[in-house]
Amino acid sequence: EDQVTQSPEALRLQEGESSSLNCSYTVSGLRGLFWYRQDPGKGPEFLFTLYSAGEEKEKERLKATLTKKESFLHITAPKPEDSATYLCAVPNNAGNMLTFGGGTRLMVKP
């Protein structure tokens, strides 16, 4: 059974203080790893898909990386508007159903 674990559960940063969020996974065969951002009272917003170890993707202050066992979401010089819950997920063998981690709630203080 696929398992996804995110840490930390919550992270408080000062504006400009860079950090990383972790997503560890156990799957029978990786078909990709997805990162989403979720704001309170909203649905998740797609950020990145990573497919193979060593792959990196960037979007503004966010950079996602992937190894064979985990993914990191690096946040460089975060701003208060980056405050949200970040979710990672892996698809099943058919590629269409997602197993989500518990999420990391990021709070960036000005």
Partner 1 sequence: GAVVSQHPSRVICKSGTSVKIECRSLDFQATTMFWYRQFPKKSLMLMATSNEGSKATYEQGVEKDKFLINHASLTLSTLTVTSAHPEDSSFYICSAFLAGGTDTQYFGPGTRLTVL
Query: In the structure encoding, which two tokens stand for residue 46, read together?
Result: 């797609």
Cβ 97 to partner 1 shortest distance, Å = 7
How many beta carbons lie within 10 A of that of residue 59, not counting itself?
Answer: 11
Least Å from the CB of residue 41 to partner 1: 7
- Between residues 65 and 85, which has the closer beta carbon with respect to partner 1? 85
Whichever of 76 and 99 has its CB closer to partner 1, that residue is 99
End-to-end Cα distance, the chain:
41
Which residues in this chain contact partner 1 in the complex, by CB under 8 A?
Answer: 31-32, 34, 36, 41-46, 49, 87, 91, 95-98, 100-103, 105
E strands, 18-60, are: 19-26, 33-38, 45-50, 56-59
Query: Which residue, 15 or 39, has its beta carbon nearer to partner 1?
Result: 39
Name the minimum Å distance from CB 77 to partner 1.
27
Smallest separation (angstroms) from partner 1 to the CB of 26: 17
Count of helices and strands (H, E) across the chain: 0, 11
* Tokens linked to 56: 């990196």
